[in-house]
Copies of this chain bind each other. A is one copy, B any other.
Amino acid sequence: MRIGIYGYGNLGRGVELALEHNPDMELVGIFTRRNPAHVRTATMAAVHGTDRVEDFADDIDVMLLCGGSATDLPKMTPQIARLFNVVDSFDTHAHIPEHFERVNRAALETEHTALISGGWDPGLFSLARLYMNAALPAGKDYTFWGRGVSQGHSDAIRRIPGVKDARQYTVPIDEAVNRILAGETPDLTARQKHLRECYVVAEDGADREKIAQAIRTMPDYFADYDTTVTFITEEEMNRDHSGMPHGGQVIRSGKTHGDHRHVMSFSLNLDSNPEFTGSVLLACARAVGKAHARGQKGCITLFDVPPADLSPLSGEELRRHLL
């Protein structure tokens, strides 16, 4: 399977590195909006300008779209789905229905197959929620995220005057997780589910108390949470906070008959969010390739993918070794 990577930030690089463990796939090229001559890739892969992407229409089976959900993907996915089978990781939950419709129209027009919202949330966590709801219709879902870096929250801190750099960790509250795993089904506020840990490098002479106050009171991002703010040096930031760990847990607690309770849980603990997400997107690409070969056109999500399609193994091998 011939793969292309469209967009070369953290996620694009994660996909590139994840290819190492997917020998049935070959990277044809990376497409960037920057000057290709100035882009250094992790594996010496070929780099091209996005303006040349149409030249590769016959050379790439599935294009992995590695742009951001806020501004890139709403335009990028329908546009590139007219040229290629594509996979994206669109993760703005509230806008998934309209994104789906737009991508579906574009892909159907040119008979391509497009999988949106791949990755782990949305993605593997969505699958966990769906399987758990189907297996246990009477129950309650919980999703916890972290401990992990939230780019959106880190960026929000960086926009505060006097802030040079910032990293925000979302941290699930163990007590809440453990109550639910023990079979309780509490109603929890945002504050009862997650803490927000902020590490900030202030500019020389900045008013630290004012920065901390601006963070703690920021609506939507921090005001509804217990938030810690720790000022550190630039050296400490680079030494201790350059990784991109993440993870989380989906739990469903419910019952069948009488007071027979059942608790299901799916958890991830990831050293590198972009590399793991990239690895999941490659599995999605494999499924898109198979769906397209079968004649399935338009937009799909992981909810529509027979799990076997994600694997390089045959149905017989899967039944023998994993069933």
Contacts and interface: CB of A to CB of B under 8 A. Distances in A.
B276 A268 contact: no
A28 interface: no
A257 B18 contact: yes
Contact of A130 (B268, B276, B322): B322
Contacts of A167: none
A219 interface: no
A239 interface: no
Given A124-B131, A181-B269, A262-B268, A303 B280 contact: no
B269 A263 contact: yes
A257 B272 contact: yes
Interface residues of A, number: 71
- With a 10 A CB-CB cut-off, give which of A129, A271, A319, A323 has the most chain B CB atoms: A323
A128 B127 CA distance: 10
A9 interface: no
A219 to B, nearest CB: 25
A41 interface: no
10 contacts: A130-B311, A130-B318, A133-B322, A134-B311, A135-B279, A264-B266, A264-B267, A303-B315, A304-B306, A305-B307
A302 to B, nearest CB: 7
Interface string A282-319: 01001000000000000001111111101110011011
A38 interface: no
Interface string A168-182: 000000000000010
A126 interface: yes
A322 B125 CA distance: 9
